[in-house]
Structure 1
Amino acid sequence: MPVNMSSKVASPIIRQIKDSRDALDFFESVLLPEEDEKTQKIIMNYPTVYIHNWKASGDFEVYVGESNDVFKRTRQHYDAASDRSAWQSRLLEKDARLFIIGHEHFNKSLTLDVENRLIHYLMSVDKVKHVHNQRGNPQNSYYPIEELDDIFQKIWKGLRKENKELFPTESSIKDSAIYKASPLHKLTKEQENARTLIIQKVIKALEDNETKQLIFIEGEAGTGKTVLNSSTFYELYCQAEEDNRKIDCHLLVNHDEQITVYEQIAEKLGLTEKYGKVVCKPTTFINNHSEDNPVDVAFIDEAHLLLTQGKQSYRGQNQLKDIIDRARVTVVMFDENQILTTEQFWESQILDEYRNQAKAVDNYIVLDKQLRMHADAATIDWIDSFTKKGELKKIPRASEDYTIKVFDSPELLDKEIKKRANESDSALSRVIATYDWEYSSINRPVNHLIKYWEVLIGGWHKPWNRELESELTRKEKRAINGLAWAEQPQTINEVGSTFTIQGFDLNYAGVIIGPSVKYRDGKIIFDPSASHNDKAVRNRTLSDGTKRKFGETLIQHEVRVLMTRGVNGMYIYACDPELQAELIKASK
């Protein structure tokens, strides 16, 4: 039987006091001497972690630290409070509280890792509007790193007993879009190497006064592009601040839901307050910057969503070219398999020009380790075969970490997703579908008897994404403000599309494969005539003036986006009878 490490790890010592010099003196001279000898020893002689926190305009601001002498360090913070520009000055004005955290196994490395994770968690809490730390300092190997998770879990539970508003459940934090896109994640070795290389290239380009430099990072869904992007972006600002030099970085993304997440991260980390608007959409960036005065660095997340032809809001012909022209260095995160619309479609020879431009100066990086899905190689191969080759292989057996399951009806799939969503460790489970049913964010259904744009299969029907938002009260709308589609509670009663779920994770994804995906003569085929995604099936004018359709390829990409959302599993129902029959056969 496996050993339960958590039961062997001692409970942490957590004390909460008023955050003031008098309260600290009283705690040290009166309250602590009343504690048992072991507690006194741990607080007085061991490294500790501490959290300053106070409320401002209804939300919390926090500072997390660690020290070998918490009393000396805290008094240094109080000494700094006379500086009105320092965060410590808030301690004099607000009803601030101080948490002091000790543990019998704390050493320098362990407290640094606990500090880093606390910063990461608290930045992801909805009620925390500002984390005043510059950045954490994640550690590598040390004793007892194997106890970190258990010790931290006990610390968080202890903090929750003190304040549930400031310390919500761990599962709610880990499911949040802000947590998943945070620059404070501990990077994998592959990501660390990529970040180091990017920063070296950026610094050299800035020192040499170069312009129009391109760094091209390619990786499929779930390979850690977003975390690498946000981490590198933030690290450049932190290094510049430490070196007392200026840097002008901008983070761009052409995705409505994802840009909201980045804006919140920039605000919580104080970047917006210090540097102004550093996150925006590509068109906004292009319109507000000129080639004559380029910014230092432009980071583009989901660069495959950039426009490669003009539309109403964008009058140019290629957003990537326009951004490169307005930046000394442009860093792009790209996945060709997530291009979903004709206006984003890249002609292969044009895309290869950019790849080769980066390769020529060793600025081309590939991320190939799957970090999102807890799936084994056989499961990844099954999804690759389905979405890239049109092949339907035998579905691999379920493992402890990942499951693919085929359902006999959309009702049963929906019921299972709702069941999962009621479990604390898989609350972020939703039904998503190919864009094969009519929807408009502007117009209402012509048939006034139909209340919503819906996904309709036989007698089962369910509203498309964002349809139920209009029925929420003002209070409910305020509560979901800034949350990604899947994080909003009412969306358990909706069906998500690629346009709401792209770039985000789900615990379990209930994938409804609509009529645009069929099985004929032993092959999966993608049928644009059955799709309602006009942006995928209409003509595209190419650079030589000819018009072509790319619907089959774009629907193939759409299915891949849906099938790579689930961290722990994917449930499937197919509308095409032949495909559904083959899926059931493949699952047996």
Structure 2
Amino acid sequence: MRLYIGSTQQFIKDTVHNQIADRLKAAFFNYYRYAPSPGEMRSWRQSLASISQVFQHNNLLDHGIILEYQIPFTSKRLDCLIAGRDSHGKDNAVIIELKQWEKCSPADGENEVITYVGGANREVLHPSAQVGQYATYLQDVHTAFYEPPKPVTLSACAYLHNYRFVSDEVLLTEKFAQNLERYPLFSMDDVDPLSGFLKTRLEGGAGLEVLGRIEDGRYRPSKKLMDHVGNVIKGKPEYILLDEQLVAYDRVMASARTGIGDRRKTVIIIKGGPGTGKSVIAINLMADLLLAGYNAHYATGSKAFTETLRKIIGNRGAVQFKYFNSYMDANPDAVDVLICDEAHRIRETSHNRFTAKAKRTDAPQIQELISASRVSVFFIDQDQIVRPAEIGSVRHIREFAAKNDCLLFEHELETQFRCSGSDAFVSWINNTLGIARTAHVLWTGEENFEFKIFDSPESLEATIRLKAREGFSARMTAGFCWEWSKHNPKAALNDDVVIGEYKRPWNARHEATKLPKGVPKAQFWAHDPNGIDQIGCVYTAQGFEFDYVGVIFGNDIMYSFLDGSWVGHPENSKDPVVRGAKGKFIDLAKNTYRVLLSRGLKGCYVYFLDPDTEKFFRSRMDITGEAHHKVREEEIEPYVNALPLFDLRDLEGMSLAEWRARLEECWKGEYRHVLGGPFLRNRFLVRAEDASMEPLIPKDAFCQFRIPSVESPDNQVVLAGISTYSKKTSGVTIKRYQRLSIIQAGQVAETTKILLTSENKTFPALELRAGVDNIEI
């Protein structure tokens, strides 16, 4: 997602005419469905005017630019990216972080300073550290910046256009030297050095072509936490921490350095919703604290999560991974730093029905955790409490931090990594379930995240299995509305989840033994590939993420149109603990579905048992089922929310140059609404007029094409204009392009044959001869 894309020449024109902030505002509203804040509008006007002057001063007019570009798989937006070629013709792009700061003061974190933002003085990342993380992250996940043979070289810098350095400048202190060397920082007095930095990388121009490569690049799936924990523990971090994630990380590391010898203990609370990277930070901290010589423990309240970590890390590292109830007998200050992940699962006390009577104590579990460590770190999402005995809350932790006279720090995580970086989806789920009132009342779709409702559990599971066969991680989950039967050793798992003819087993119970071959233990269901054959419940899914998650939404809570609210049905719940929670039941059930629905990185697929609940969800979706629909004339924003629609018959007989001219001129024809704008002006829509490309492209579906780049179209779906020597075939068609060499025995290739094939094999392929028949794509 980006709010503005085009040429630097157009950007300068929009800025000079004071239109740039309004264009960003329109694109912002089109995407988020609410207006940007006045502060953001002021920031756009001031910062973009400043960088526009730099571009104009250096005659950087033949370049491509993206503004407010959402970093893949996060919710963070970088300010400005400019693309072009250097003097040797090599493709380059530069990220420019723009700041309106005027002064700052020191902070004790390795990457932070203190400045006035958001109405108060706050600890924030040094601009070079911030933009450096953006660059590193993009280089790791965007194919345009790493894929051979000639990846785009990515650089980064920060421009503080209102800032004047002083003699003992905080931003230039020694601890930032490495970041400053790699990602330089320019003040209001450094226009000439900034100009040199940009011109060295971009003086060759041709930026729209480079921008096209970036636009056409793919996003590699974000790395899975469990697959890389082993390397993280060995000191090879696989995750890039962004913005407030790095601030929280640095706070813990700073407290470890100072807090071990301090008279007072330290408590750090790190709050964040699903997918904000709580476990990512926790794992990075665990690795780096151990490598730095600190006795660090990692504790959770989840058997599945802890046991999976232990399995991946191996026996040597597993001893440092504990449960919240592991500290009943711990000596005071036995642990330097205790990392408590999923702290919302903290219970009132640590004993349970299996605890020997002599060992039982009334000591609160939170007190045991704080007592056992010099520095205790709590990662928490209060809306993930799914059992009545789970009492972990920010208020609860604060209370015991005060009782123990602890230094207290609190951090809030906002960057979204799950749901393809979509804050909107998690916010919409919170709103729809009535967990929180948010700005996202309607789900209008996201270009990188798919939410789909299915008519049957069979079709839902078939799609999940298809995703797994395609190489994605995918799992089926369900609300706890079916009995979880005990396992008979060596027998197959019982098909507990029954919906008509659909019958599937739950994942194995934790205490199950002698499981059939291929059935993973409960704690490994999320990580073992064979877990796709069972349905997971919230207790085995919580804490994990998958590329695609399938959710069977049960009838333990249902939406009542008569009451205009959610209604709990504990009689339909098969979770005895939650069923007996009385006044807490509906909140726990809502949290359960919030957890399940937010497990997906790329998509969430749902089947509803209750028709009214499905109807309610659909009523809060503004998706027509057709991504390219007509919009009213007054709503059209060309190349922001709509693309021109070409009729195939109108394109017959036109050359590629004429097509391009039609696109570049002021289009007077029909537009269709398209998600994912703004777009480059080489994009357009056509309608598939026959069934030749089914099932890939259904008849009458709209297809988005672009004037081709220099890349080979081989094996790609193309829009082809054909005229043959024999006149037997002519016109414009949608087909898959294949180029084949015709080789005779003992000779090199004499000629080339082009095949235009259909997905629907009842339609014959078109065979053309290079140099004889004419084809433009």
Which has the larger displacement, 519-528 or 410-419? 519-528
The answer to whether structure 1 residue 262 and structure 2 residue 309 are counterparts is yes
Q: Deviations over 1:118-141 (max 9, x none)?
A: xxxxxxxxxxxxxxxxxxx99937
Instruction: Report the counterpart of residue 192 of structure 1 in structure 2.
Output: 246
**Distance in 1 (alpha carbons) for counterparts of 2:229 and 2:454:** 29
Instruction: Report the counterpart of residue 237 of structure 1 in structure 2.
Output: 290
Displacement after TM superposition at 1:432 (Å): 0.6
Change (3 A) 1:264 1:458: closer
Instruction: Report the counterpart of residue 161 of structure 1 in structure 2.
Output: none
Instruction: Report the counterpart of residue 578 of structure 2 in structure 1.
Output: 536
Change (3 A) 1:365 1:265: farther
Q: 2:599 aligns with which of 544, 561, 565?
A: 565
Instruction: Report the counterpart of residue 500 of structure 1 in structure 2.
Output: 540
8 Å CA contact 2:504, 2:534 repeated in 1: yes
The answer to whether structure 1 residue 399 and structure 2 residue 391 are counterparts is no
Matched residues, percent identical? 23
SS in structure 1 at match of 2:531: helix
Instruction: Report the counterpart of residue 459 of structure 2 in structure 1.
Output: 412
Q: 1:302 aligns with which of 322, 326, 342?
A: 342
The answer to whether structure 1 residue 435 and structure 2 residue 469 are counterparts is no
Displacement after TM superposition at 1:583 (Å): 3.1
**Distance in 1 (alpha carbons) for counterparts of 2:346 and 2:303:** 13
Instruction: Report the counterpart of residue 311 of structure 1 in structure 2.
Output: 352
**Distance in 1 (alpha carbons) for counterparts of 2:259 and 2:426:** 38
The answer to whether structure 1 residue 208 and structure 2 residue 262 are counterparts is yes
**Distance in 2 (alpha carbons) for counterparts of 1:340 and 1:561:** 9
Displacement after TM superposition at 1:348 (Å): 8.4
SS in structure 2 at match of 1:343: coil
**Distance in 1 (alpha carbons) for counterparts of 2:337 and 2:607:** 44
Which has the larger displacement, 278-287 or 568-577? 278-287
Q: What is the identity, as a one-letter code, of the residue corresponding to 1:290?
A: N
Q: What is the identity, as a one-letter code, of the residue corresponding to 2:449?
A: Y
Instruction: Report the counterpart of residue 344 of structure 1 in structure 2.
Output: 390
Q: Deviations over 1:251-293 (max 9, x none)?
A: 111212211233246549xx63xxx821122223333x223x5
Change (3 A) 1:139 1:184: farther
8 Å CA contact 2:451, 2:605 repeated in 1: yes
Q: Deviations over 1:420-465 (max 9, x none)?
A: 11112xx21111111111114x4669xxx99605111122121111
Larger Rg: 2
Displacement after TM superposition at 1:352 (Å): 5.1
Q: Deviations over 1:218-270 (max 9, x none)?
A: 11111111111111222222233xxxxxx3221111212211233246549xx
Q: Deviations over 1:347-392 (max 9, x none)?
A: 8864552477799845111112222121544433321112344899
Q: Give the TM-score of the pair, scaled to structure 2.
A: 0.47
**Distance in 2 (alpha carbons) for counterparts of 1:299 and 1:365:** 15
**Distance in 2 (alpha carbons) for counterparts of 1:196 and 1:377:** 24
Instruction: Report the counterpart of residue 221 of structure 1 in structure 2.
Output: 274
Q: 1:178 aligns with which of 212, 217, 227?
A: 227
SS in structure 2 at match of 1:568: strand
**Distance in 1 (alpha carbons) for counterparts of 2:302 and 2:527:** 16
SS in structure 1 at match of 2:567: strand
Q: What is the identity, as a one-letter code, of the residue corresponding to 2:425?
A: T
**Distance in 2 (alpha carbons) for counterparts of 1:147 and 1:217:** 28
Change (3 A) 1:233 1:487: closer
8 Å CA contact 2:275, 2:418 repeated in 1: yes
8 Å CA contact 1:261, 1:482 repeated in 2: no
**Distance in 2 (alpha carbons) for counterparts of 1:405 and 1:357:** 48
Residue pairs, 1:90-105, within 5 angstroms: none
Q: Deviations over 1:389-441 (max 9, x none)?
A: 489987524333101111111121111111111112xx21111111111114x
Q: What is the identity, as a one-letter code, of the residue corresponding to 1:577?
A: P
The answer to whether structure 1 residue 461 and structure 2 residue 503 are counterparts is yes
Instruction: Report the counterpart of residue 553 of structure 1 in structure 2.
Output: 587
The answer to whether structure 1 residue 140 and structure 2 residue 132 are counterparts is yes
**Distance in 2 (alpha carbons) for counterparts of 1:144 and 1:187:** 10
Change (3 A) 1:511 1:239: same
Which has the larger displacement, 140-149 or 526-535? 140-149
SS in structure 1 at match of 2:348: coil
Displacement after TM superposition at 1:466 (Å): 2.3
Change (3 A) 1:491 1:239: closer
8 Å CA contact 1:519, 1:578 repeated in 2: yes
**Distance in 2 (alpha carbons) for counterparts of 1:500 and 1:537:** 19
SS in structure 2 at match of 1:452: coil
**Distance in 2 (alpha carbons) for counterparts of 1:140 and 1:359:** 38
SS in structure 2 at match of 1:194: helix
**Distance in 1 (alpha carbons) for counterparts of 2:245 and 2:135:** 24
8 Å CA contact 1:308, 1:343 repeated in 2: yes
Displacement after TM superposition at 1:469 (Å): 9.3
CA RMSD across the alignment: 4.2
**Distance in 2 (alpha carbons) for counterparts of 1:524 and 1:153:** 49
Residue pairs, 1:570-581, within 5 angstroms: 570-581=604-615
Structure having the higher helix fraction is: 1
- Structure 2 spans left out of the alignment, 5+ residues: 1-89, 91-128, 150-218, 625-777
The answer to whether structure 1 residue 491 and structure 2 residue 537 are counterparts is no
Q: 1:290 aligns with which of 328, 331, 347?
A: 331
Q: Deviations over 1:472-514 (max 9, x none)?
A: 43xx57xx68983133233222211101110000111111110
Q: 1:382 aligns with which of 395, 411, 428?
A: 428
Displacement after TM superposition at 1:171 (Å): 8.3
Q: 2:412 aligns with which of 357, 366, 385?
A: 366
SS in structure 1 at match of 2:248: helix
Q: Deviations over 1:27-51 (max 9, x none)?
A: xxxxxxxxxxxxxxxxxxxxxxxxx
Change (3 A) 1:146 1:277: closer
Change (3 A) 1:386 1:202: same
Instruction: Report the counterpart of residue 468 of structure 2 in structure 1.
Output: 421
SS in structure 2 at match of 1:508: strand
The answer to whether structure 1 residue 249 and structure 2 residue 301 are counterparts is no
8 Å CA contact 2:367, 2:400 repeated in 1: no
SS in structure 1 at match of 2:588: helix
**Distance in 2 (alpha carbons) for counterparts of 1:431 and 1:383:** 19
**Distance in 2 (alpha carbons) for counterparts of 1:363 and 1:145:** 27
**Distance in 1 (alpha carbons) for counterparts of 2:523 and 2:416:** 25
Q: Deviations over 1:193-212 (max 9, x none)?
A: 1111111122221122434x
Q: What is the identity, as a one-letter code, of the residue corresponding to 2:613?
A: L
Which has the larger displacement, 231-240 or 332-341? 231-240
8 Å CA contact 2:497, 2:505 repeated in 1: yes
**Distance in 2 (alpha carbons) for counterparts of 1:579 and 1:422:** 31
SS in structure 1 at match of 2:526: helix
8 Å CA contact 1:511, 1:573 repeated in 2: yes
**Distance in 1 (alpha carbons) for counterparts of 2:340 and 2:420:** 27
**Distance in 2 (alpha carbons) for counterparts of 1:144 and 1:279:** 30
Displacement after TM superposition at 1:153 (Å): 5.7
**Distance in 1 (alpha carbons) for counterparts of 2:401 and 2:588:** 21
Question: How many residues are paired up?
Answer: 414
Change (3 A) 1:455 1:232: same
Residue pairs, 1:37-76, within 5 angstroms: none
Structure having the higher strand fraction is: 2
**Distance in 1 (alpha carbons) for counterparts of 2:432 and 2:407:** 36
Q: Give the TM-score of the pair, scaled to structure 1.
A: 0.61
